[in-house]
Each structure stands twice: as structure tokens, then as C-alpha cells.
């Protein structure tokens, strides 16, 4: 089973962008971690990043068509993209797990980060644990696929 690990805008800048918030490790390090964590639970992680809302939406359509569970860090799209929320809803409506992950704890930051349009349509949300949140989300996907 493949799990799509999709990352939204500016997450290609991990390691460079606000390291005090997002840490010093880059997207390649996150990719390696996710591949290892997925392997531990018998999954294959397909780790992707885009700054393009349309591409992220297309990835959700593809996940539905291919029956692929999703781990998603929607980044700033979290807070305003009803287009992505509608696409994410199709994933969970299809009975597929969709775990929302945030590296930081958005609720502890600027007020515009307190609202997620993705959370209401996600299976669950993990925030504030750094890259380890992806580990938990991948484990959650494996657990949900078993049940
Ligand atoms: C983020 C939190 C968002 O508010 C922000 O726009 C991001 C990253 C996180 O992983 O903590 O780009 O999703």
C-alpha cells in the first residue's frame, strides 16, 4: 500500500525558512524519515511538495481514483483553501484515511493560523510535534487501514 505524503506551499523551504519554528532539517530529510517510518508499518511513502493549489487538488483526485490514503501538511492552504478542503473531503468520503499534520502548533501562533478549513474533513489532525507528527500520522494510516 502506498501512502501519499503531500506538503503544501513553502515546505520546500524547510531547513531555511524560520528554523526556530520548523527546525533545521530539509524536505529531503523529511522524505527519508517518512520512507523509513512507512516501511516500518508495511507502507510505501510517496512524499511530494507543491506550492501550487491546483496541483495539490489534483493529487487528492488521484488519491480517490487510486484508493491511496493521504498524510497532508496543507501549510498555508490550511487556513483558507475551500478548494483543497472540498478535494480533501472527497478522499475521506471515499473511506480513505486523510491525516492532517502540522510541524508547528498553529494554535499557538498568529490568530489567522487558528482556523483550519481542512480539519473538519480530515480523519484526524496532529500538530506541534515537528517531523515526528508525520511518524504518528503514518502509523495512524496503517492502523486505520487494518481496521
Ligand atoms: C504549517 C503551519 C501553517 O500555518 C503554515 O502556513 C505552514 C506550515 C506547519 O507545518 O506548522 O506553512 O502547516
Ligand 1 nearest-atom number relative to CA 73: 13
Handedness of CA 78, 83, 84, 89 (dihedral sign): positive
The reply to whether ipTM tops 0.85 is yes
Q: Is 10 in the pocket of ligand 1 (CB under 6 A)?
A: yes
Share of the chain above pLDDT 90, in %: 99
Exposure b/e, 39-63, CB count within 10 A at least 16 = b: eebebebbbebbbebeebbebbeeb
Ligand 1 atom nearest residue 77's Cα: 6
For 83, other C-beta atoms within 10 Å of its C-beta total 15
Is the CB of 72 inside a 6 Å radius of any atom of ligand 1? no
Q: Stretch 115-128: mean pLDDT, rounded?
A: 98
Ligand 1: residue whose CA is nearest its atom 1: 75
Q: How confident is the model at residue 147 (pLDDT cuts 50, 70, 90)?
A: confident
Measured from the Cβ of residue 70, the count of other Cβ atoms closer than 10 Å reads: 25
**H/E run at residue 9:** none
Residue 61: pLDDT band (50, 70, 90) is: very high
The burial of 114, by beta-carbon neighbours within 10 Å (0-12 exposed, 13-18 middle, 19 or more buried), is given as: exposed
105 Cα nearest atom in ligand 1: 11
Domain 2-146, CATH homologous superfamily name and number? Dehydroquinase, class II (3.40.50.9100)
Ligand 1, atom 3: closest residue by C-alpha: 75
Q: Closest residue (by CA) to atom 6 of ligand 1?
A: 76
3-class SS shares of the chain: helix, strand, coil, % to 5: 50, 15, 30
Q: How far is CA 58 from the centre of its chain?
A: 15
pLDDT at 88: 98
pTM metric for this prediction: 0.97
Q: Looking at residue 131, what is its pLDDT? A: 98
What is the rounded average pLDDT of the residues 57-61? 98
Amino acid at each position: 500500500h502506498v501512502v501519499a505524503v503531500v506538503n503544501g506551499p513553502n515546505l520546500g523551504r524547510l531547513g531555511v525558512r524560520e528554523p526556530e519554528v520548523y527546525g533545521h532539517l530539509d524536505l529531503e530529510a523529511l522524505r527519508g524519515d517518512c520512507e523509513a517510518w512507512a516501511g516500518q508499518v508495511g507502507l510505501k511513502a510517496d512524499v511530494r511538495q507543491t506550492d501550487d493549489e491546483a496541483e495539490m487538488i489534483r493529487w487528492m483526485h488521484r488519491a480517490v481514483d487510486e484508493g491511496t490514503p493521504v498524510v497532508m501538511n496543507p501549510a498555508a492552504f490550511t487556513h483558507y483553501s475551500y478548494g483543497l478542503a472540498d478535494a480533501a473531503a472527497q478522499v475521506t468520503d471515499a473511506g480513505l484515511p486523510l491525516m492532517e499534520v502540522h510541524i508547528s502548533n498553529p494554535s499557538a501562533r498568529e490568530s489567522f493560523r487558528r482556523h483550519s478549513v481542512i480539519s473538519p474533513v480530515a480523519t484526524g489532525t496532529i500538530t506541534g510535534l515537528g517531523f515526528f507528527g508525520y511518524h504518528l500520522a503514518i502509523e495512524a494510516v496503517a492502523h486505520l487501514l487494518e481496521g
